[in-house]
Amino acid sequence: MTAATTPRRRLDADERRRQLIELGIEMLSAHPREGVAIDRIAEAAGISRGLLFHYFPTKRDYHVAVIQAAADRLLDVTAPPAEGELADRLRTSLDAYIDFVVDNQAVYVSLVRGAVGGDDDLQEIFDRTRGRIVTRIADALGMDARRPALRTALRGWIGFVEESTLDWLRHDDLSRRTLIGLQEQALTAVLGEPPA
Amino acid sequence: MTAATTPRRRLDADERRRQLIELGIEMLSAHPREGVAIDRIAEAAGISRGLLFHYFPTKRDYHVAVIQAAADRLLDVTAPPAEGELADRLRTSLDAYIDFVVDNQAVYVSLVRGAVGGDDDLQEIFDRTRGRIVTRIADALGMDARRPALRTALRGWIGFVEESTLDWLRHDDLSRRTLIGLQEQALTAVLGEPPA
């Protein structure tokens, strides 16, 4: 076998897709302003530009897939534990949220800021992610997420968490504990009763 | 005098600039997805495309000026009364905020969503607007906006107000009174004491 017929590693389609998305998340973290650079992604994966476009027909499709994967990861890591006191489950979830933010600052900023803007697909991804967080909290509380006042309160609270976290990142002058405390206070207040 | 030497109305530079910005805000309200269309703005103002570019060198300059004007207007109309109980002043200000949102839905969505995204200038406008709201509230409370916990709490609260208002607009199934009530509750909670 010659080098040309021996890819560095043969991956099946799903593995390849996952690898490319993973590289995209890494690149977005390292160079958030530039977005994902197809040539460099292909090079890092050891494949041709053409093969990358086989998996993602356009650069835009690729970018949307990367942002979707980052949003899914955020949801995964912040899933609250199934058992325990509500207040403890909330704190565990917020802790995981802040961990994600600290480990993926650029991706996070891109998710809550860059992902909005003019692009409908990206905006929809983030909107859906927010909606899933609302449903998750309502479920944990044994409440109906479709109740307008609860839905609006929880959406507002997600805005609180996002903006306060961005501010915390930007200034780096507040303890993580205080930040989470503020977020807990805000949720408790809009739920009209302590979450525990 | 011939028609060619008689503009429909002769405006001085400042008036013309204001007129063009006003038309931009109107157009953004009517056609938010398309942004500002230079040709139609020039036509509506009764001037040539070239003259518009005399006032705003590029389309981007024009767009930034329009968004800046909309942000300034939001700040103007929501300025709290100088006197009265804190809780009343807050309510008056939130009422004016919701009025602005209802009267300028598309511009508002564009401000809090579209204005972010990749564009640094627009992002900076909105960031500065949020910063001015934080300072204003801290001043009203006789507190120091530079205190990290207060600043972060107030930035978070602005996120709450924005997201809850967007949700309220989108679903149109909640009373304005309930919305404002949620926003008041959230602020009271993160200030750690009733604002009144």
Q: A129-177: per-residue pLDDT in tens? A: 999 999 999 998 889 999 999 999 999 999 999 999 999 999 999 999 9
Quote the pLDDT of residue A8.
Answer: 60
Q: Is the pLDDT of residue A94 over 50?
A: yes
Instruction: Indicate the pLDDT class of residue A32, thresholds 50, 70 and 90.
Output: low
Instruction: Indicate the pLDDT class of residue B53, thresholds 50, 70 and 90.
Output: very high
Quote the pLDDT of residue B196.
Answer: 39
| Cβ(B56)–Cβ(B19) below 8 Å | no
Torsion angle, alpha carbons of B106, B107, B109, B112, to 10: 180
B172 at interface of A, judged by CB pairs closer than 8 A = no
Give the gap in angstroms from C-alpha A88 to the nearest C-alpha of chain B. 19
Alpha helix (H) ranges present in chain B?
A: 13-30, 38-45, 49-55, 59-77, 86-103, 105-109, 120-141, 148-171, 176-191
Quote the pLDDT of residue B37.
Answer: 84
Contact A116 B113 (CB under 8 A): yes
B146: helix, strand or coil? coil
Quote the pLDDT of residue A118.
Answer: 52
Q: Which residues of B touch A186 (CB under 8 A)?
A: 156-157, 160, 186, 189-190
Between A56 and A104, the higher pLDDT residue: A56
**What is this model's ipTM?**
0.86
Q: Is the pLDDT of residue B2 over 90?
A: no
The predicted model scores a pTM of 0.87
Of A119, A149, A160, nearest to B160 by CB-CB distance is A160
H/E element holding A50? helix A49-55
Q: A88-96: which pairs have CB atoms within 8 A and are 24 or more residues apart?
A: A89/A140, A90/A140, A90/A184, A90/A187, A90/A195, A91/A180, A91/A184, A94/A161, A94/A180, A94/A183, A94/A184, A95/A180
B166 at interface of A, judged by CB pairs closer than 8 A = yes
% of chain A with per-residue pLDDT over 70: 88
Quote the pLDDT of residue A133.
Answer: 92
Instruction: Indicate the pLDDT class of residue B6, thresholds 50, 70 and 90.
Output: very low
B123 at interface of A, judged by CB pairs closer than 8 A = yes
Distance CA A29, CA A106 (A): 5
Q: Rounded mean pLDDT of A48-75?
A: 92
Q: What is the mean pLDDT of chain B?
A: 86
Distance CA B56, CA B62 (A): 5
Quote the pLDDT of residue B72.
Answer: 93
Q: Which residues of A touch B162 (CB under 8 A)?
A: 159, 163
A164 at interface of B, judged by CB pairs closer than 8 A = yes
Instruction: Indicate the pLDDT class of residue A193, thresholds 50, 70 and 90.
Output: low
Q: Is the pLDDT of residue B113 over 80?
A: no
DSSP A144-161: -TTSHHHHHHHHHHHHHH
Between B110 and A72, the higher pLDDT residue: A72
B48 at interface of A, judged by CB pairs closer than 8 A = no
Q: Is the pLDDT of residue B193 over 80?
A: no
Residue from A143, A179, A141, A140 nearest A161 by CA: A179
